[in-house]
Amino acid sequence: MTIAVDCRMIDASGVGVYLRGILPFFLQSGNDLLLLGNTARLNSFSSNANVRIIECKVKQFSIKELFFFPIRLQRQINKADVYFVPFFNIPGGIKIPVYTTIHDIIFPDMPELSSKAGLAARMWFFRRAFAKSRKIFTVSQFSKSRIEHHLGAEKPVIVTYSAIQQMFLEYRVNAGNIVKKETIVFIGNIKKHKGLDYLLDAFHQARNEGLPHKLIIIGSKENFRSSDNAIMQKIGSIGNAVSFTGFVSDEKLMEHLSTAALLVQPSLYEGFCLPPLEAMVLGTHALISDIPVLKEIYADYPVTFFRAGDSNDLKEKMAELLFKKEPASLNLNDALLYKYTFEKTASIILKTVISG
């Protein structure tokens, strides 16, 4: 079987991690692969006899992708048996069976995140992907329930959990004795559903009560929108106890996570949410909001939950963990280390697309 795979988002954060995680197992499956994307970025796969790469610079969700997708690309893709998309953008002119991944459906669940026009446009793309796909993949039972709620249950929605990247497992083994620092790590952006606002309030209160730790925000300050001035002012009022890393390499990300005393994930909405898993694999405790998806994903893990959107409860839980003696490093057992793997995820996807 020949599987055409849209790899244009291979360097993205969430979608890219998912795609980079499953591709090695696609390669090992014995199927022929047609990879669509940046040929320079995909060059590392070119030595595989079962791989062919075609250049595609067409932007996702663009007018060109929908209505003027190059005929030469359509022809090459349509010679494959199936087309797999790790997101919900489907080019025009694809006539073979399509399988897409909808990681979450946040915008109709939190319409305040976009304008009415923006929500309408996103829902059009969601419905189009749902209509054109033979089956839909998603990354949690929570996301599956929300997809079925908004798009219907007449099409199969299959859960293929996201997973930890192998490099995190290897880093923990090879890092040796890791010395913890008085740092708290947050990974994400300033968008409302990430809950940074509540973390800042809790952190400010804790600092006023003598917490010596510093907060490291792994994300770019420059990408913050002008509408988020209130959060920027709040950060400014805390002073140099908050720092932004900007873009960091994988190695630097793992260093921040492994040496932190605590990771805080105050999200109000997620599809899966990898940072708590990454932190725990690297030996760092995780304090996370009690939203349904995180209760699902981390039910068996040694996390601490706080009430979502409650900065006072977050402060109390954070202080309880950090005012004590410096938290010891976590050591997850094998069952938890390997509960979510991309080998399992890829296996489900391959079995589904091959069986039709």
Shared domain for 136 and 278, answered yes or no, is: no
The C-alpha atoms of residue 322 and residue 295 are separated, in whole angstroms, by 22
The DSSP-derived string for 26-81 is HHTTT-EEEEEE-TTTTGGGTTSTTEEEEE--PPTT-HHHHH---HHHHHHHHTSS
Shared domain for 216 and 272, answered yes or no, is: yes
Amino acid making up residue 94: I
Shared domain for 196 and 114, answered yes or no, is: no
Shared domain for 224 and 328, answered yes or no, is: yes
Chain segment 192-212, per-residue pLDDT in tens: 889 999 999 999 999 999 999
Q: Which two tokens stand for residue 334?
A: 């094998």
Spatial contact of 270 and 276, defined as CB atoms under 8 Å apart: no
The C-alpha atoms of residue 257 and residue 234 are separated, in whole angstroms, by 24
Shared domain for 173 and 288, answered yes or no, is: yes
Q: What is the pTM of this model?
A: 0.92
Shared domain for 128 and 217, answered yes or no, is: no
Shared domain for 130 and 180, answered yes or no, is: no
Helix residue ranges per DSSP H, the chain: 14-27, 63-67, 71-78, 106-109, 116-132, 141-151, 166-174, 196-208, 229-238, 250-259, 275-281, 292-297, 311-322, 334-337, 342-355
Shared domain for 326 and 194, answered yes or no, is: yes
Amino acid making up residue 232: M
Domain that holds residue 233: 166-337
Shared domain for 159 and 208, answered yes or no, is: no
89 pLDDT more than 70: yes
Q: What pLDDT, on the 0 to 100 scale, is given for residue 188? A: 84
224 pLDDT more than 60: no
More confident residue, 135 or 113: 135
Angle (CA) 144-147-148 rounded to 5° is: 85
